[in-house]
Structures are given as structure tokens and as C-alpha cells.
Amino acid sequence: MASPRKKTDSSKTREEAMSVARATRRPGQSKEQTRLIAQGIQKGIEHYKKQQKAKARELDKHLKKVKRQVENPAAETETITKELTRYRQHWLPWLLLALSWAAFTAYLFASEV
């Protein structure tokens, strides 16, 4: 069932592109040039439709997520607290950095004396 719909969408897009190409036709322009312009316009229209479908899918996903949050706010709070603790830095690298700088400065002062 999807293929007949796609053919009708494609034919509608092709007709729209051809009408736009004919409307913007220049004097002395050949039919081949008009056909190529119509193909470019058709590709642009199809690309625009794909972008709009992707945006609609993203919006739908976001709306479903918000709806889940409204229905069950406790589950979302648990997820947020787990994510916050996941990004916490460990203290050991900072301690080693401070110790290395302290040892370096002690070496410098010891070599000057």
C-alpha cells in the first residue's frame, strides 16, 4: 500500500516542480533546460518534505517524553539524579597533579641553594 501513495506523492511533486519551472521560464530556454530545472526543484521539494517529516518525528518523540514525565514524575527524577552522579570527577588526579607541582617546586628551590 505504501508504493501507490509514494507514486502519487512523487507525481504531485513532479507536477508542482514542472509548473514552477514553466512559470519561471526565460526567453530562449529550451525544453531540456526547463526539464532539468524542474528536476532540481523536485529534488528540493522532496528534501524539504523529508526534513519536515524528521522534525515532526522529533517533535512527536519530545511530546511523548513530556507526556511520560507528566504521568510519572518520580521515575524521571530518579533518572536525573543517576545522571548527575555519573559525571562527578574523581579527586585522585587532582591530588597527583598538586603533588607533582609541589615536588617540582621543591626540586627547583633545592637546586638553587
Interior CA angle at 18 toward 9 and 8, to 5°?
A: 15
Amino acid found at 49:
K
Is 46 within 8 Å of 13 (Cβ atoms)? yes
Q: Is the pLDDT of residue 67 over 70?
A: yes
pLDDT bucket at 70, cuts 50 / 70 / 90 = confident
Please indicate whether residue 102 or residue 23 has the higher confidence score (pLDDT).
Answer: 102
Predicted confidence band of residue 111 (pLDDT cuts 50, 70, 90): confident
Instruction: Report the distance separating Cα 106 and Cα 22, nearest Å.
Output: 82
Higher local confidence (pLDDT), 79 or 104: 104
Question: For residue 88, which phi and psi values (nearest 5 degrees)?
Answer: -75, 135
Question: Which residue shows C-alpha cell 512559470?
Answer: 23
Q: How far apart are CA 4 and CA 9, in angstroms?
A: 9
User: What pLDDT, on the 0 to 100 scale, is given for residue 86?
Assistant: 58
